[in-house]
Homo-oligomer: A and B are copies of this chain.
Amino acid sequence: MEIAAPYLMFLGDVPDDLAAKTAHGIVDWRPEWCLGQLRLPGCRADLKIPDLTVPEAAERGARTMVVGVVNAGGVLPDHWVPVIVAAIEAGMDIATGLHVRLGDTPAVRDAARKHGRRLFDVRHSSQRFATGKGTKRSGLRLLTVGTDCSVGKKYTALALEREMRARGFDADFRATGQTGVFISGRGVAIDAVVADFISGAVEWLSPEAADTHWDLVEGQGSLFHPSFAGVSLGLLHGAQPDAFVVCHEPTRTNMRGVKHPLPAIADVIDLTIRCGRLTNPAIRAVGIAVNTQALGEGEAQGYLDTLAADYKLPAVDPVRFGVGEIVDRVAHEFPQAAPQDGRLARASA
């Protein structure tokens, strides 16, 4: 998997920015790779980067058009096909995180073949996995879990990687979703793996390592989401985390895509520990990461302070205030893997 940058970000005509979270994530973490966005009439997402046509992007050197959106069921709408074909004809590879394979659409397949371009279906790993064994592996692991989908699990893991590396920790982000794979250039889209191999794929993704090494494993879904909890549980068992961070969005009323209310953070902590003990009896919570975008800054800080007091855990907004407090806690609880001065230095506010 080597997707060539720079990218033209294709958003189609998705109804909101949450549906473009893949594209937003790539722009957040790799802005230098994202030349511009291509939006169709009716598109309600906006990456706040230049709008480019296919010829304009090609002229600026775009090497891959990234279909950076998700939609229900992951289908490829018919009216997106002409733009994808045009990008291929203009010399770009195409990369998507959709459930369907690009090559299943004849016009796309034929254009790629004719013009010698590559089609990347990030959700479709050709990697074969074994079933999970649940055996304890060396090295340390942190998993981000959530009260719902789309509450910042990837962002938090990436922010932890950045902060920990800046402090001298030996830490690697481990991608389990398409956006993370686009950002880190490796990983596995865990929700696309055959069900029998969920935990086995995560064991492959996060192998044995030095005792001072941290894998920061991107979580998926929620143990409380009726569509995806199976993925979340297999991921938890395969990651066998020593530590986990709960991610949350306080203004959301329903879980994404269904009618169920969000669980309490306390319930997420409790069920994560209860189930996680199966493969790591020492599992513990080390922080809460909240997306406070919908709150004012004072309100956000007050909310975080209350959470911190209630749960006796650092509670941060990774975007607004950084993840420094969580890294402080990690350094304190796992001193064997903290750099000499890592308990004090703070790379971000």
| A279 sits at the interface (CB 8 A) | yes
How would residues 170 to 197 of chain A score, 1 for a CB under 8 Å from any chain B CB and 0 otherwise? 0000000000000000000011111110
A101 within 8 A of B: no
Interface flags, A224-250, vs B, CB<8A=1, else 0: 101111111111010000000000000
Judge if A45 is at the interface, Cβ distance under 8 Å.
no
Mark out the residues of chain A between 195 and 243 whose CB falls within 8 Å of any chain B CB in the assembled complex.
Answer: 195-196, 198-200, 223-224, 226-235, 237
Task: State A192–B199 Cα separation when bound (angstroms).
Answer: 14
User: For residue A278, which residue of chain B has the nearest CB?
Assistant: B226
Which of B237, B259, B279 is within 8 Å of A230, CB to CB? B237
Report if A131-B228 is in contact (Cβ < 8 Å); known contacts: A233-B233, A260-B278.
Answer: yes
Chain B neighbourhood of A274, CB < 8 A: 271
B224 touching A259 by the CB < 8 A rule?
no
Q: Chain B nearest CB: distance from A204 CB in Å?
A: 13
Would you give 9 A-B contacts (Cβ < 8 Å), ordered by A? A99-B196, A133-B258, A134-B260, A199-B228, A223-B233, A224-B278, A230-B231, A231-B234, A260-B278
- Which A residues have a C-beta under 8 Å from some C-beta of B? 72-73, 99, 130-135, 190-196, 198-200, 223-224, 226-235, 237, 257-260, 271, 274-275, 278-279
